Structures are given as C-alpha cells and as structure tokens.
Amino acid sequence: MKQIEQHACFGGSQEVWQHASSTLGCDMDFAVYLPPQAKQGPCPVLYWLSGLTCNEQNFITKAGAQAYAAQHGIIVVAPDTSPRGEGVANDEAYDLGQGAGFYLNATREPWAAHYRMYDYIVQELPALVDAHFPTTTARGISGHSMGGHGALVIALRNPGMFRSVSAFSPIVAPSQVPWGEKAFSAYLGDDREAWLEWDATALVAKATERLPLLVDQGDADNFLETQLKPHLLRDACETAGHPLTLRMQRGYDHSYYFIASFIGEHIAHHAKAMQG
C-alpha cells in the first residue's frame, strides 16, 4: 500500500492508494474518502463502481459525493474499472480491455490472466480496506453504467454482504445489448447460458435475498434504448417480486452532471440502510 494522493476535503480526507493486486496480477489504484467521523471511530463503507473508460479519478473529481459522505459519516471507496499495465491484455476499442473490465471473472484468453474484477471487488479490495481503514461491517455498493451493472450483479450474487445497493444508468441486461454481447463474447466465450451469471435481470429471478434496488435513469440518455433498457429490469423484478425503485429522471443524460444531481439522495439511501 502506497499513498499517491491526499487532499483535505469537507473536514475529511480524499486519498488515492496504490497496491500490488494478487488477484489481477498488476498494480491497482483505488480512491478512498475518509469523512471527519473516521477520526473518531469506524464508519460504514460505500463502494462505488465507475463505467466504461473511467478510472478512480472520474467519480472523486466530478460527482461531488464527498460533502454528502461527510454529512452522513460514510467512507467511500472508488476502485479503477479494470487491471492496467503493459503486460495486461488490451483492445483498441473503448468498450473492451483496459477501462472496460465489466466486473466479472474472464475465462477466455488473453483476458483470463488478469481480468478478475469480480474477485477483486468482492474479496481482495474489501479485505484491504478493512485492514487499513476504520471501517464497520456495514457495506453498500453503487455505480454508473458498466459500474451500475457491476453493483447490481455483485449485490445479487453475494447475499448478506451489502446492506444497500443503487445504480445510475446501469446496463441491466448485458446479455441482451451490444456492450455486453461484445464484452461477454470476448471475456466468457459463446455460451450464453454462462453469460446469465453476470446479468442482473437473470439474477433477480433466483435471488435469495430481497435487497431493495434503487435505480436512477435519465430519459434523455442517448444509450437508453440501445444499451441500458431499464424496463427489462423492471419487468424481471415484477415477475420475481423483487423490490425495485426505478426513477426516470426527465431531461437528464448519461453524464456526471446527472450523477452529481442525485448522488446526495443515493448516499442518504445508503446511510439509512447502513446506519439503521
């Protein structure tokens, strides 16, 4: 663990740390915001997963989450979106390879050697965070776009690990849209049945925990009809009887302006669940 950034922020500390990841086989950076309450004792942790092309910087510099995290006394951890480095497989396209890990465990080469973001988020990163920062056992998870997909899938696959989950503009059915079809074909192969283990609309049907889902989606999002299709999650949740709050926000697009507009409500949602 090596600290590479530290900034005083709303009475707390916005930091970026680097470590050698045994799961991913490369050095990884992750951001952590420590609210002022962390100086007095342990705080709950909200994990934020970013979308395609992002790293740990996008959320901490654009979302404005620190003020709300300080208000509620929540640690916010924002990892990178994929393994990185010269020895890590990559692709020229923005939606595959570095910056596009899709929060799954790849099974096909050349991706399988490094692309295990699911294991990293579920196992290695929480263990590292709990060992080095003043955390309680209460966790929440959220994310945007590809990261929204990751947040929903990870929460649904790990009952009891999180007390809350939310997402902005998530890819709810990656096995049915171009982004997911491209990534899943590369990372997992052609067996579409195997893809369903990484698809939130399929996972809600067999979920053993009814963790309420909070999803915000802008109705002016240019990816709405082709890549996101939130109605598929709504239909799956209605069929399964899984609690979902899907809020279509009029006039909002896919950008961080959208996230910044509602991140305070999401952090309040997580705070209520984690501190209640």
Q: Which two tokens stand for residue 120?
A: 């990293």
Active site residue 145: yes
Active-site entry in 145, 164, 169, 175: 145
Q: Which two tokens stand for residue 69?
A: 């995290």
> Quick one: three-class SS letters along 81-124?
CCCCCCCCCCCCCCCCECCECCCCECCCCCCCCCCEHHHHHHHH
**Residue pair 215/244 in contact by the 8 Å Cβ criterion:** yes
**Which of the 8 DSSP states describes residue 174?**
G
List Cβ neighbours of 198 (8 Å cut-off, separation of 6 or more).
102, 103, 104, 153, 174, 175, 184, 188
Active-site entry in 114, 254, 266, 270: 254
Active site residue 142: no
**Residue pair 226/178 in contact by the 8 Å Cβ criterion:** yes
> Containing H/E element for 276?
none
Active-site entry in 29, 95, 199, 221: 221
Active site residue 221: yes
List Cβ neighbours of 106 (8 Å cut-off, separation of 6 or more).
112, 114, 115, 116, 186, 187, 188
SS3 28: strand
> Containing H/E element for 247?
strand 244-249
Task: List residues with catalytic annotation.
Answer: 145, 221, 254
